[in-house]
């Protein structure tokens, strides 16, 4: 079998596996729906997820250890992941091939030649990783302040070395000791400058461009919902994701760029590719030319997926191991092995010192700049309601890779990709939108945390969510608190009975309770008693339409009988108002004023019982801006948001 056939089979396999994982990440009855499939495995295999969270949190969470497999493979074999496994790479390769297959050889060669701009992906990688390394950096700088004796020791020693080196008059040693001394001075100086700086923080943004989270997110949130239909129900229920247009735009842009340059994303943007390039720079096995036989026919350059100039000096780090050159070479010159390429090879693009430093420094500086908004601090946004089990905001931003797994699996479609409400750092992180979906956040559901590959949403047991068993003393997990907007609430503001919210409150005993009030209704004129016939009151005044007032919620009181509780209206007809009983016979006399009162149950929220599930908000019949809304106050994920003692 031809090697590229094998590669295509591998690519197809992983591509289909990826689609399968996306499709099955939904709760349902069907055999194919979430039955312990390792749906996040491809994300875990992505070492950029592992490295990013490792830098940001100092831990490598559970399944992310899989990334090590990719790392080892890359060190030995080069970028097999890019050429053989990555489903996003496969998509790019397919689209690029489709777009270019009819083009002339010269055009294809031109499209596939190496371009210096391919080093941009390093800039992106370094920028994103240094943003994630803020805490690590803070720790390093703290170290310089905390153990200043040690630092002074090192400084003295290096100074001594420097003096010795100058004495030795070796230019090489002189340079290096100067650099060392400057580094130490800079380290200690910066340490003092940033001592106690609360802004130096880590923010994991690799997921914005990391191919696997990007692909998962795009398919989960913009493709499957579109494909959902009568033929194939990919999600129960049909999905809405407000704000996902930006996700789709990014996706289609990078896919369509293949029409201009094949594998545009892989060559210029992909930070994972850049990471694997670095790891695979000195791979044991690599593509290369055998010593004799090359006629410079260009067949290899024409089909090179990595744009790494196989016909001349091969840029081995750029090579994605598509093996097209090996297959296409009519003279059998290309080989994959331990030998360096006969025509010469070099690792690949290198950043200049200046570019490297610029990317690093801007990445480190970007996060403190973003944190100045105070979004994880005094200026936290109560509209950002995170799924149950989500970590506190600062830790959440250290982990979330915006893969959208939680949004995909959420059975009620209540988890959505954030726009700007969680700050620029929080773009496409999960927030709850109770207006959308089938209901609020189901009390008995813990699906999102089970799928989150990074534990940005912790995998909580149901007992923890409900606050029972060993978690009884902590109480249930609260994601926010519902607040009644008395200016919009039907009973509170408009004298109309309602309390849908109270009925739907799933907590037991209910977190929404009511207090009864009889309020006089607004009529166009006074009602005066003309005559009383048993349980009927005949009256003068404006008509009382039975369809409104004889519903059982309306009552009357009489002016002269203040002590008599309101009496329910049974019916209204030509004979006047029929009452359920008539206690007024004793006291009332003709001419007395009749007041029609509506019995209202006014909703109140008990904040110690409310878990913020948002079902009330979802169900509230005031459909525009709901009259009861959840906000993040009292969410258990951050003690700073505590509302009650």
Partner 1 sequence: MSETAMDRREFIRRCTRAGVCVAAAGSLGVAFYDSRAPAAIPGPTAALTLPDYSVGPLPGRICIARGVDRKRLVRQAFAALGGMQAFVNPGERVLLKVNAAFASPPGLGATTHPDLVKAVVRLCLEAGAKKVTVTDNPINDPASCFALSGIDAAARQAGADVIVPRQSLFQRFSLTGGRLVRDWPVLAAPLLQADRIIGLAPVKDHHRSGASMTLKNWYGLLGGRRNIFHQDVHTLIAELAVMIRPTVVVLDGTQSMITNGPTGGSLSDLKPTGTLIVSTDPVAADAAGAALLGKQAQDLPFIARAEKAGAGTTDYRALNLKEIKAI
Q: Which is nearer to partner 1, 588 or 610 (CB)?
A: 610
CB of 457 to ligand SF4, least distance (A): 5
Site membership for ligand SF4, residue 628 (CB under 6 A): no
Site membership for ligand SF4, residue 430 (CB under 6 A): yes
Question: Which stretch, 66-74, 186-194, 218-226, 616-624, contacts partner 1 (CB under 8 A)?
Answer: 66-74
Query: Cα–Cα distance between 645 and 637 in angstroms, integer?
Result: 15
Q: Is 430 exposed, middle or buried (0-12, 13-18, 19+ CB in 10 A)?
A: buried
Site membership for partner 1, residue 413 (CB under 8 A): no
Site membership for partner 1, residue 71 (CB under 8 A): yes
Instruction: Count the residues of the shown chain that bind ligand SF4, applying the rule CB under 6 A.
Output: 15
CB of 339 to partner 1, least distance (A): 7
Q: Which is nearer to ligand SF4, 46 or 277 (CB)?
A: 46
- Please choose which of partner 1, ligand SF4, none residue 458 contacts, taking the beta carbon within 5 to 8 angstroms, the exact cut-off set by kind: partner 1
- Please choose which of partner 1, ligand SF4, none residue 459 contacts, taking the beta carbon within 5 to 8 angstroms, the exact cut-off set by kind: partner 1
E strand segments, 195-318: 286-289, 314-315
CB of 27 to ligand SF4, least distance (A): 15
Q: Which residue has the tokens 């726009």?
A: 419
- Please choose which of partner 1, ligand SF4, none residue 403 contacts, taking the beta carbon within 5 to 8 angstroms, the exact cut-off set by kind: ligand SF4
CB of 401 to ligand SF4, least distance (A): 4
Query: Cα–Cα distance between 241 and 433 in angstroms, integer?
Result: 9
In whole angstroms, how far apart are CA 572 and each of 543, 565, 568, 569?
10, 20, 11, 8
Site membership for ligand SF4, residue 402 (CB under 6 A): yes
* SS3 (DSSP) at 514: strand
Contact of 269 with 121, CB cutoff 8 Å = yes
Site membership for partner 1, residue 643 (CB under 8 A): yes
Q: Which is nearer to partner 1, 473 or 516 (CB)?
A: 473
Nearest residue to 525 (alpha-carbon basis) of 589, 593, 597? 593
Site membership for partner 1, residue 624 (CB under 8 A): no
Per the document, the length of the chain is 645
| DSSP letter (8 states) at residue 118 | G
**Radius of gyration (C-alpha) of the chain in whole angstroms:** 34
- Please choose which of ligand SF4, partner 1, none residue 402 contacts, taking the beta carbon within 5 to 8 angstroms, the exact cut-off set by kind: ligand SF4
- Please choose which of partner 1, ligand SF4, none residue 639 contacts, taking the beta carbon within 5 to 8 angstroms, the exact cut-off set by kind: partner 1
Question: Which stretch, 8-16, 284-292, 305-313, 446-454, contacts ligand SF4 (CB under 6 A)?
Answer: 446-454
Site membership for partner 1, residue 68 (CB under 8 A): yes
Q: What tokens does 75 get?
A: 């060190």
- Interacting residue with ligand SF4 among 138, 180, 255, 406 (CB under 6 A): 406
Q: Which is nearer to ligand SF4, 214 or 605 (CB)?
A: 214
Site membership for ligand SF4, residue 202 (CB under 6 A): no
Q: Is 277 exposed, middle or buried (0-12, 13-18, 19+ CB in 10 A)?
A: buried
Site membership for partner 1, residue 351 (CB under 8 A): no
Helix axes 271-280, 120-132, angle to 10 degrees: 100
Question: Which stretch, 64-72, 108-116, 178-186, 566-574, contacts partner 1 (CB under 8 A)?
Answer: 64-72
- Please choose which of ligand SF4, partner 1, none residue 401 contacts, taking the beta carbon within 5 to 8 angstroms, the exact cut-off set by kind: ligand SF4
Nearest residue to 252 (alpha-carbon basis) of 228, 283, 218, 289? 218
Contact of 51 with 40, CB cutoff 8 Å = no
Site membership for partner 1, residue 194 (CB under 8 A): no
Q: Within 13 Å of residue 166, how many CA atoms lie on the same side as its CB?
A: 6
Query: Cα–Cα distance between 505 and 518 in angstroms, integer?
Result: 24
For every residue of 130-181, which 3-state class applies, written as one string?
HHHCHHHHHHHHHHHHHCHHHHHHHHHHHHHHHHHHHHHCCHHHHHHHHHHH
Q: Which is nearer to partner 1, 282 or 379 (CB)?
A: 282
Contacts of 28 (CB under 8 A, 6+ apart): 34, 236
Site membership for partner 1, residue 612 (CB under 8 A): no
Site membership for partner 1, residue 450 (CB under 8 A): no
Query: Cα–Cα distance between 538 and 535 in angstroms, integer?
Result: 10
- Interacting residue with partner 1 among 28, 459, 475, 497 (CB under 8 A): 459
Site membership for partner 1, residue 284 (CB under 8 A): yes
Query: Cα–Cα distance between 37 and 390 in angstroms, integer?
Result: 23
Site for ligand SF4, residues 448 to 467, rule: CB under 6 A: 451-454, 456-457
Q: Which is nearer to ligand SF4, 370 or 403 (CB)?
A: 403
In whole angstroms, how far apart are CA 386 and each of 205, 220, 284, 429?
18, 19, 45, 9
Site for ligand SF4, residues 124 to 163, rule: CB under 6 A: none
Site membership for ligand SF4, residue 401 (CB under 6 A): yes
Question: Judging by DSSP bridges, how do beta strands 345-346 and 314-315 pair with one another?
Answer: parallel
Binding site for ligand SF4 (CB under 6 A): 400-406, 429-430, 451-454, 456-457
Binding site for partner 1 (CB under 8 A): 50, 54, 57-62, 65, 67-68, 71-72, 75-76, 196, 198, 279, 282-284, 338-340, 389, 391-392, 395, 449, 455, 458-460, 464, 474, 636-637, 639-640, 642-645
């Amino acid at each position: 079998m031809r090697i590229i056939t094998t590669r295509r089979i591998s690519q197809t396999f992983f591509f289909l596996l990826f689609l399968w994982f996306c499709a099955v990440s939904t709760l349902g009855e069907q055999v194919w729906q979430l039955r312990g499939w390792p749906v996040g495995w491809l994300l875990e295999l992505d070492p950029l997820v592992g490295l990013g969270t490792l830098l940001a949190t100092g831990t490598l969470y559970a399944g992310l250890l899989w990334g090590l497999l990719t790392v080892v493979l890359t060190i030995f074999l080069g970028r097999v992941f890019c050429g053989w496994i990555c489903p996003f790479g496969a998509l790019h390769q397919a689209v690029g091939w489709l777009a270019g297959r009819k083009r002339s050889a010269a055009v294809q060669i031109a499209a596939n030649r190496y371009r210096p701009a391919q080093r941009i992906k390093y800039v992106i990688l370094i920028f994103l990783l240094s943003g994630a390394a803020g805490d690590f950096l803070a720790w390093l700088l703290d170290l310089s302040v905390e153990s200043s004796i040690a630092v002074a020791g090192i400084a003295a020693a290096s100074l001594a070395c420097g003096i010795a080196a100058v004495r030795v008059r070796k230019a090489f040693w002189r340079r290096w000791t100067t650099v060392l001394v400057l580094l130490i001075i800079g380290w200690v100086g910066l340490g003092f400058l940033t001592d106690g700086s609360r802004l130096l923080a880590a923010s994991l943004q690799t997921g914005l461009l990391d191919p696997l989270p990007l692909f998962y997110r795009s398919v989960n949130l913009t493709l499957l919902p579109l494909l959902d239909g009568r033929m194939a129900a990919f999600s129960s229920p049909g999905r809405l994701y407000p704000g996902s247009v930006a996700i789709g735009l990014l996706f289609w842009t990078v896919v369509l760029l293949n029409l201009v340059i094949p594998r545009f994303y892989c060559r210029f943007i992909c930070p994972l590719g850049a990471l694997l390039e670095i790891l695979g720079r000195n791979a044991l096995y690599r593509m290369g030319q055998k010593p004799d036989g090359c006629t410079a026919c260009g067949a290899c350059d024409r089909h090179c997926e990595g744009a790494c100039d196989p016909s001349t000096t091969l840029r081995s780090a750029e090579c994605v191991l598509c093996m097209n050159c090996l297959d296409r070479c009519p003279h059998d010159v290309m080989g994959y092995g331990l030998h360096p390429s006969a025509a010469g090879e070099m690792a690949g693009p290198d950043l200049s010192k200046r570019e490297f430093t610029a990317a690093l420094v801007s990445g480190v500086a970007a996060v403190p700049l973003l944190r100045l908004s105070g979004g994880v601090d005094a200026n936290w946004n109560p509209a950002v309601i995170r799924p149950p089990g989500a970590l506190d905001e600062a830790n959440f931003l250290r982990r979330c890779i915006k893969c959208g797994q939680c949004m995909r699996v959420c059975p009620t479609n209540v988890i959505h990709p954030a726009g700007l409400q969680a700050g620029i750092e929080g773009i496409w992180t999960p927030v709850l939108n109770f207006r959308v979906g089938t209901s609020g956040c189901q009390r008995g559901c813990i699906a999102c945390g089970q799928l989150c590959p990074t534990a940005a949403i912790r995998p909580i047991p149901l007992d923890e969510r409900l606050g029972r068993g060993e978690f009884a003393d902590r109480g249930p997990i609260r994601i926010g608190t519902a607040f009644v907007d008395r200016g919009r609430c039907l009973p509170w503001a408009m004298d109309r009975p309602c309390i849908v919210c109270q009925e739907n409150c799933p907590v037991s005993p209910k977190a929404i309770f009511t207090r009864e009030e009889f309020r006089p209704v607004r009529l166009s004129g006074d009602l005066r008693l003309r005559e009383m016939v048993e349980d009927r009151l005949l009256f003068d005044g404006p008509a009382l339409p039975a369809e409104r007032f004889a519903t059982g919620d309306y009552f009357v009181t009489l002016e002269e009988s203040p002590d008599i509780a309101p009496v329910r209206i049974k019916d209204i007809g030509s004979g006047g108002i029929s009452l359920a009983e008539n206690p007024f016979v004793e006291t009332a006399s003709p001419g007395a004023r009749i007041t029609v009162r509506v019995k209202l149950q006014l909703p109140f929220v008990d904040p110690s019982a409310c878990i913020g599930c948002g079902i009330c908000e979802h169900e509230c019949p005031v459909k525009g801006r709901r009259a009861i809304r959840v906000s993040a106050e009292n969410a258990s994920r951050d003690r700073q948001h505590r509302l009650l003692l």
